Copies of this chain bind each other. A is one copy, B any other.
Amino acid sequence: MNAGAIRQSLEGCGLRCTPQRFAVMAFLMEHPRHPTAAEIFEAVNRVDPRSSRATTYNNLRDLVQAGLVREVAVEGRAARFDMKGMRHHHFICDGCGKVEDMEWYEVPRPASRSLGKRFLRECELIFRGLCANCAPRRRSG
């Protein structure tokens, strides 16, 4: 399994591999569904070791800061998280709000004229529409 890989990436960032941190990473790896912090907290807590709400939030913050996890840009109240492993874009369903990963491809950069003095780190695409589940029901509804 990738237990070793998780431990390595944590320590590579100077973060101790605590059971709670490991559990967050493992859950995100196994569930690339952009869970909310609350979902992660619940899931991690369902199995041992117990982890408090504050720890879950702390760890998510640390992991984002370390660049291992990212907080996904979505509208809506609860933050959603994502393993940063493989580059990908996002599809957000107008119908059910589900966030799905989409295959990565390079996006043309904006004209440097329009960029001005900004420093551009990355371009991320958000696709909107209806997911495979909602599409048939809505379009011809």
Contact = CB atoms under 8 A, between A and B. Distances in A.
A131 B110 contact: no
A124 interface: yes
Contact of A119 (B73, B74, B126, B130): B130
A38 B60 CA distance: 26
A131 B118 contact: yes
Interface stretch (A11-19, A20-28, A101-109): A101-109
Contact of A123 (B118, B127, B139): B127
A119 B103 contact: no
Nearest to A122: B128
B91 A118 contact: yes
Interface of A: 71-77, 79, 89, 91-92, 94, 102-103, 105, 107-108, 110-111, 114-132, 135-136, 138-139
24 contacts: A71-B75, A73-B73, A73-B92, A74-B75, A76-B79, A77-B77, A102-B110, A102-B114, A103-B110, A103-B111, A103-B114, A105-B108, A107-B125, A110-B127, A116-B132, A117-B135, A118-B135, A119-B138, A120-B127, A122-B128, A123-B125, A123-B127, A124-B126, A124-B128
